[in-house]
Amino acid sequence: MDNLKPYAFCNGDESARRAADMVKEIVFSQFPSVDADTGVEARIATNDECIAQAAEAIRSCGSGVKISTASNHAYIKAKGWKSANILLRPLCGAIGMFRMTMGPGRYKKPVAVLRYGSGDFYSEKSCEVKTIDGLETAVITQEMVIADLEKYGEIAASKAQKNNFKMVLSAKWTISKGEQFMVDRVSKVLDDNGFKRGENRNQGDYWWELSDIAAARIPINVGGDEGGWMIVTGNANGDTMADIADFQHGNNVMGSEVICRDGYSYYELPGGTAPDLFESDFKGEKFFSPVGVLVSFCGAITDVNPQAKDYCDKVMAASTAYLEGTEKAERCTQTMLEFIAKEAAK
C-alpha cells in the first residue's frame, strides 16, 4: 500500500504494553505511526506532559491507539495524578466511548455499550471532606457537559443504524436531574431520526431502563444469547456495563472507540493492564488475547488509511479463525499474531 498516513501510537504499561508492541511489530509493521508514550515511565520523566503530547499527536494524525496504563502505580498515586484516560479524553474532546464485541463468543450477534464521555464522577473536580451533622462527609463537585448530548444522540443513532442494534437508554432519571437531561435530549434525537420508543422492556427500537437493571439483567432483557443490542448510558455506568458485556461474551474481545467532538476517533485498549501476566509467556493458561488490541489498531489505521480496510478485515477474520481452530490449552499470543500476519498478507 502506498501513501500511508501515520496514526498516533500511545503505548501503556505491563502486559498491555507487551501485547501492543507485539501486535504493532508482527501484524502492522508496514503502517507508520507517531509514537507518544503514555506509560508510567514517560509520565514520570515528563512530569505528566506526555499526556498533552499524546493528545496533540492524536489530533494531528486524526486517529490513534491508546494502550492501557497503570494508574494505580505508587508514584502516580503519590503525586495525586489522575489516570491517563481521564486526562487524555477531555484534551481530545471526547464525547462518547463505544465498545462492541468482536470475534467468537457467547453472543451470536455483536453487543455494544455507548457511554457518554463528558461528565458524571469521571469528571470529578473536587472532593472535600467536611463534618456535616456530626458525620464525616465527602462533598464532591463534578461536571456533566450537557451541550454535547444532542451530538451524543446522533452518534447513538448512527451506531444503531450501522449495526442494526436495539437500544437500551439507561439512566437513573428518577433520582438524578443530570441523568434526566440524558434521557430527554437523547430520546428527542432518536425520535427525530425515526426510532420508535417502546413503552415497555424489549419493545420498539429503544426503551428506557434504570442503570443497575440494564447491567444486571441483560442479556435476559434482550433476546438471551442472540445479541444485537446496545446500551446507551453515562460514563461510569457504561464503563461497568461494557466490562459485564465483555465478560459475558468472552474477555478481551471488545474494542473501545473514543469519539471526539471535532469528528475524529481514537481507540483505547479496554480491560486494564493485566499486571499478573507481565512476566508470563502468554501461552496456555497465561494466554493474552490480542483481539481488543487488534480492534484498536484496525480502527485507528483504517480511519486515516481507508485503503487498509481489506487488510484489517483479513486480520480480524484470521483472529477468529485462530481462536475457533485452536484449543484453549494450545493458544499462544505470539503464534496467533504470526498466523494472523501470514493470513492477512495473502
HEC letters along 183-222: HHHHHHHHHHCCCCECCCCCCECEEEECHHHHHHHCCHHH
Q: What is the pLDDT of residue 276?
A: 83
The 10 Å Cβ neighbour count of residue 152 is 25
Which of 138-142, 158-162, 231-235 is predicted with the least confidence, judged by mean pLDDT? 138-142
- pLDDT tens sequence across 117-135: 875 556 677 889 999 999 9
pLDDT for 339: 98
Give the chain's mean pLDDT: 90
57 pLDDT higher than 90: yes
pLDDT at 172 over 60: yes
Cβ–Cβ < 8 Å for 156, 167? yes
**CA-to-CA dists, residue 25 to 4, 19, 22, angstroms:** 17, 10, 5
DSSP for 266-315, written as a single string: EEE--S---GGGTTS--BGGG----HHHHHHHHHHHHHH-GGGHHHHHHH
Other Cβ atoms within 10 Å of 28 Cβ, number = 25
pLDDT for 230-283, tens place per residue?
A: 999 988 888 888 888 888 888 667 878 999 999 999 999 877 788 888 889 999
- At residue 240, the 3 state secondary structure works out as helix
Q: What share of the chain is helix, strand, coil (3-state, %, to 5)?
A: 50, 20, 30
The answer to whether residues 344 and 318 touch, using CB atoms and an 8 Å cutoff, is: yes
Res. 6: pLDDT tops 90: yes
Helix axes 291-304, 14-26, angle to 10 degrees: 50
Cell of 328: 484453549
Lowest mean pLDDT among 101-105, 145-149, 294-298: 101-105
Look up residue 268 and give its amino acid: E
Q: Provide the residue type at 23 as one letter.
A: V
What's the confidence (pLDDT) of residue 220? 65
